[in-house]
Amino acid sequence: MKIIMLGAPGAGKGTQAKKIAARYHIPHISTGDIFRANIKNGTELGKKAKTYMDQGLLVPDELVVDLVVDRVNQEDCKEGYVLDGFPRTIPQAAALDKALSSLSQKVDYAVNVEVPDENIVTRMGGRRACVSCGATYHLVYAPAKKEGICDTCGRELILRDDDKPETVIKRLNVYHEQTQPLIDYYTQAGVLKEVDGTADIEDVFHEIIEILGE
C-alpha cells in the first residue's frame, strides 16, 4: 500500500501519517528524514543534496525524486509506505510517477487532510514550545499544567515565529499556489481520497482506515 499524504501546513497530515504507518506496519517517510539519513551516512545522493543545502539552495526536483525512489526501494518498503511532505508540486508528482512506473509501481492512495485556512491559523497560533528542551504544547488541545511553563523542565514556553499568524498565512499562500494543484492531479489519477481534518484526531484516523481498509 503506497500512500501519499496531502494537506496544508498544520492540517495534521504528519500525525496521521505516523498513525497509518504504525497501524499497517509500513515506514513513515519524510523528505527531511531522507536528507538527514543520506547526509549522515555520506551517500553519493546525500553529498549532492548537501552541496545545495550548504548554499541555502533548494535541492532540485530530480535529486529529491532520486532520494525518495532510493528510499522506497529499500527492503522495509516492500509492503508499502506513507510519504509525508512529498511531492509538493506537479513536476515532483510527475517525476515520482515516472520513476515508480519504471519499477512497475504506482501510488495507491493520495489522502488529503482538508482543513480550512482559518482553522489552521487558529490551531497553529495556539502552539507553544519550550525554549530549553523543545517540548511542544497547545493552549487548547495539549496545555501545559502551569500556563507558560514547560511541564518537563520548568522553562518558559514561547510562540515560535513559524506559528505566528502572519507567517502561517504566508505558508498557506505558498501551499495553495504550489501544492493545491496536486489535488486535481491525483483526482485525475483516480487515487485521491479526502478526509475532514477538523474532526478529532482519532475520528480522522478512523475515517482514513475506512478508506484504506483493514
Q: Of 78, 98, 106, 160, which residue is the catalytic one?
A: 160
b/e for 59-74, b at 16 or more Cβ within 10 A?
bebeebbbbbbbbbee
Q: Of 13, 19, 71, 123, which residue is the catalytic one?
A: 13
88 is catalytic: yes
Q: What is the pLDDT of residues 49-106, one digit of tens each?
A: 989 888 888 888 889 999 999 999 999 999 999 999 899 889 999 999 998 999 889 9
Q: What is the pLDDT of residue 204?
A: 96
Q: Which residue, among 59, 62, 63, 103, has the nearest Cα to 81 in the 3D structure?
A: 103
Q: Of 88, 155, 164, 193, which residue is the catalytic one?
A: 88
Q: For residue 214, is pLDDT > 70?
A: no
Burial class, 22, CB count within 10 angstroms (exposed 0-12 / middle 13-18 / buried 19+): exposed
171 is catalytic: yes
Q: Tell if the pTM clears 0.75, that is, is over it.
A: yes
* Mean pLDDT for the chain overall: 92
Q: Of 18, 164, 171, 193, which residue is the catalytic one?
A: 171
CA distance 129 to 35: 25
155 is catalytic: no
- Percent of the chain exceeding pLDDT 70 equals 100
Q: Of 19, 71, 123, 127, which residue is the catalytic one?
A: 127
Q: What is the pLDDT of residues 140-179, one digit of tens each?
A: 888 999 999 999 999 999 999 889 999 999 989 988 888 8
The mean pLDDT of 109-113, rounded to a whole number, is 97
Q: What is the pLDDT of residue 59?
A: 86
